[in-house]
Amino acid sequence: MKRTAKYFGMSLAVLMMFMTAACGNESKGSNAQESSSPAATASPQASTAAPESASTETVDPFGKYDPPIKVSVTRNTDSTYKFKEGESFDKNAWNTAYAERLGIQIANKWIVQSDQYDQKMNASIAAGDLPDVFRVNAVQFKQLADAGQLEDLTEVYEKYASPMGRELIENGQVAKAASTVGGKLLAIPQSQDYFGGAPLLWVRTDWLAKLGLPEPSTMQDVFTIAEAFTKQDPDGNGKADTLGLALSKELFSGYPDVTGFMNGFHAYPKIWIKDASGKLVYGSIQPEVKAALAKLQEMFNAGQIDKEFGVKDGSKASELEINGKLGMHFGAMWNPLWPLQGNKDKEPQADWKAYPIPSIDGNIANAQSSLDYNQFWVVRKGYEHPEAVIKLYNLTVDIFGGDSQNPEIYHSKDGIEFHKYALLTNTGTGEGLIGAQKHIKAAFESGDASKLTAEEKGYYDKIVAHQGGDNSGWGTDRVFGSESAYSVIGQYYDQNRQLKVNEFIGAPTPTMGDRRATLEKLELETFTKIILGASLDDFDTFVADWKKLGGDQITAEVNEWYATK
């Protein structure tokens, strides 16, 4: 049997969805596998039965309904969702797999644009018009749980969860706890991945070599590199048209992202951390953030940051790097797939490398990671087949990481990302793609790729092709290769000393639900204005206003929750 949950957690599908969310809903990645017809070819690991239920009945976690049942769901879409001719949300490889293998016919109750999904779901909740299986955010989850409108999945999980599905959930005890209310499992837990979202520093290394600059190991190195990339004509065109550090108006978006820059100052924005007394405090209002903002303002004034960043989203901001006019940013593990692959396509000689977050002083800089549980797959109260969501989960994770893997059918081909049609794609835990990178590295070292899973083999083949001269595989190499995003994240993981986690992983508190949008808007506007040149005193005003506008009450509620852990 192939490797199962030992490495699964954030497959290509989830990786690509991170990209989509952070790129203004435009997929710029290039990690497609060559594909064939979307017919079901592999069978799931049905030979291994789930553990016996309390009644000692043994069931097949992939058992097929006969006659078939219908499950109504809700979906979101955007410009990155594309279909082969004759296919749609109603007719595609994933729906075929659910129908042919499980006897579950998927019926789309409604489909809306991704940025309208939460609003549409709020309307459905208010009208009492819920689908059978659906995705909700943390506020909606709490609202439905408190109102008794969700099915208790505790027993059906124990009875029907496949060995792989069970391992993934049990490995994510924090995720499972977030999905449990009053001792009842009310949702399929989303992926618990502390490390995959940790920030990285990306630097254009061919520019470093050209200018004779050392690789960055301190924040002072970052400042030196930013200045040199701005003033020393690294593109060699004789013009002052290059910049040192990427920013966008979103600030916190995965690309480009100031989180890693602030982490270098031991500042941890947008998460809850422990203070010296052991109480939880909001990272964005701590003095270290002010120091980081002061430096960003200095760099902006020095012309090292795009003067128009305040009106550019990540997609627009990426044009500078793609077109060879910017050489450094703090961001995410998927950045080689987009936008850096675009730069490599335009300039084959260009090269980029990921680095751990450097420190402003002699103390190690911790990369922050937020387990922000804001997606839950749930079942409406009263649905006669609550076990169906467990079976859908079993098959989904088996296709992504088990014996049913077939990237040629379920992932991507010719720019069409089949994986977007799957349900429950944000679920599953484990070592994640850190494990995939380790397995790929081991395969190169041993010369034996036979033990790789289908997905890992896809990445491996892309890297082999790149090493043989295929430029299109560069991004995959920089995500999974020997010097890659996941080789750095693997350092975070193995050392377990360079990670600052969000200490608050509960459902939104009452005041948080009411005031978070207002407070987040205030935070973004203040930080942006300061970088653009406003007085640093505005930070102190922001902190006072944040506290008065609900922050103090949220802090009290968060600490009340923390005291019950």
What whole-number distance in Å separates Cα of residue 18 and Cα of residue 416?
Answer: 17
Structure-token pair, residue 99: 């129908």
| Residue 424 predicted with pLDDT over 60 | yes
Q: How many helices and strands in the chain, by DSSP H and E?
A: 22, 15
The more confidently predicted of residues 497 and 438 is 438
What whole-number distance in Å separates Cα of residue 340 and Cα of residue 354?
Answer: 12
The more confidently predicted of residues 2 and 92 is 92
Task: Categorize the per-residue pLDDT at 194 as very low, low, confident or very high, splitting at 50, 70 and 90.
Answer: low
- For the chain, the farthest-separated pair of C-alpha atoms sits apart, in whole angstroms, at 78
Least confident among 220-229, 249-258, 353-362, 410-419: 410-419
Contact 310, 530 (CB under 8 A): no
| Residue 53 predicted with pLDDT over 50 | no
Closest among 187, 190, 215 to 201, alpha carbons compared: 215
Residue type, 241: D
Instruction: Please tell me the predicted confidence (pLDDT) of residue 217.
Output: 96
Task: Categorize the per-residue pLDDT at 363 as very low, low, confident or very high, splitting at 50, 70 and 90.
Answer: very high
Mean predicted confidence (pLDDT) in 52-57: 43
What whole-number distance in Å separates Cα of residue 8 and Cα of residue 431?
Answer: 7
Contact 174, 505 (CB under 8 A): yes
Strands (E), 384-431: 412-413, 416-417
> How do residues 531-545 score in pLDDT, each as one tens digit?
999 999 999 999 999
Task: Categorize the per-residue pLDDT at 172 as very low, low, confident or very high, splitting at 50, 70 and 90.
Answer: low
Instruction: Please tell me the predicted confidence (pLDDT) of residue 2.
Output: 34
Task: Select, from the ranges 55-69, 195-209, 358-372, the one with the highest average predicted confidence (pLDDT).
Answer: 195-209
| Residue 261 predicted with pLDDT over 90 | yes
Task: Categorize the per-residue pLDDT at 43 as very low, low, confident or very high, splitting at 50, 70 and 90.
Answer: very low
> How do residues 503-527 score in pLDDT, each as one tens digit?
987 777 889 988 988 999 999 999 9
Backbone CA torsion sign across 467, 469, 472, 475: positive
Instruction: Please tell me the predicted confidence (pLDDT) of residue 497.
Output: 60
The string of DSSP letters for 195-254 reads TTT--EEEEEHHHHHHHTPPPP-BHHHHHHHHHHHHHS-TT-SSSS--BSB---TTSSSS
Within 10 Å of residue 227's Cβ, how many Cβ atoms?
Answer: 16
Phi, psi of 326 (to 5 degrees): -150, 140
At residue 128's C-alpha, the angle toward residues 123 and 129, to 5°, is 75
| H or E element in which residue 499 lies | strand 499-501
| Residue 8 predicted with pLDDT over 60 | no
CA dist 217 to 222, 266, 300, 365, 497, Å? 8, 15, 22, 11, 16
User: In the block, which residue shows the tokens 């930080």?
Assistant: 527
What percent of the chain has pLDDT above 70? 85
Closest among 212, 149, 152, 221 to 188, alpha carbons compared: 152
DSSP strand pairing (200-204 vs 328-331): antiparallel
Mean predicted confidence (pLDDT) in 27-49: 32
Task: Categorize the per-residue pLDDT at 356 as very low, low, confident or very high, splitting at 50, 70 and 90.
Answer: very high
Least confident among 18-32, 462-476, 495-509: 18-32
| Residue 3 predicted with pLDDT over 70 | no
Task: Categorize the per-residue pLDDT at 28 as very low, low, confident or very high, splitting at 50, 70 and 90.
Answer: very low
What percent of the chain has pLDDT above 90? 65
> How do residues 118-128 score in pLDDT, each as one tens digit?
999 999 999 99
Instruction: Specify the 3-state DSSP secondary structure of 329.
Output: strand
What whole-number distance in Å separates Cα of residue 104 and Cα of residue 69?
Answer: 5
| Residue 188 predicted with pLDDT over 60 | yes
Closest among 48, 179, 223, 112 to 507, alpha carbons compared: 179
Task: Categorize the per-residue pLDDT at 19 as very low, low, confident or very high, splitting at 50, 70 and 90.
Answer: very low
Contact 332, 257 (CB under 8 A): yes
| H or E element in which residue 72 lies | strand 69-77
What whole-number distance in Å separates Cα of residue 510 and Cα of residue 528?
Answer: 28
At residue 75's C-alpha, the angle toward residues 70 and 81, to 5°, is 120
What whole-number distance in Å separates Cα of residue 226 and Cα of residue 255?
Answer: 17
Q: Average pLDDT of the chain?
A: 86
| Residue 32 predicted with pLDDT over 80 | no
What whole-number distance in Å separates Cα of residue 189 and Cα of residue 161?
Answer: 13
The more confidently predicted of residues 564 and 150 is 150
Structure-token pair, residue 561: 């929750």
* Exposure letters 495-510 (e unless 16+ CB within 10 A, then b): eeebbbbbbbbbbbbe
Please enumerate in sequence order all residues whose Cβ is within 8 A of that of 384, keeping only pairs 6 or more positions apart, or say none.
Answer: none
Mean predicted confidence (pLDDT) in 290-295: 98
Closest among 93, 40, 45, 172 to 453, alpha carbons compared: 45
Instruction: Please tell me the predicted confidence (pLDDT) of residue 192.
Output: 60
> How do residues 76-94 score in pLDDT, each as one tens digit?
998 778 898 899 999 999 9
| H or E element in which residue 141 lies | helix 138-146
Instruction: Locate all alpha helices (DSSP H) within 264-367, ordered by sequence.
Output: 287-301, 314-322, 341-346
Looking at residue 33, what DSSP letter applies? P
Instruction: Please tell me the predicted confidence (pLDDT) of residue 54.
Output: 40
Mean predicted confidence (pLDDT) in 99-120: 95
Instruction: Please tell me the predicted confidence (pLDDT) of residue 427.
Output: 52
Please enumerate in sequence order all residues whose Cβ is within 8 A of that of 347, keeping only pairs 6 or more positions apart, or say none.
Answer: 324
Helix, strand, coil shares of the chain as percentages rounded to 5? 45, 15, 40
The more confidently predicted of residues 7 and 495 is 495
| Residue 384 predicted with pLDDT over 90 | yes
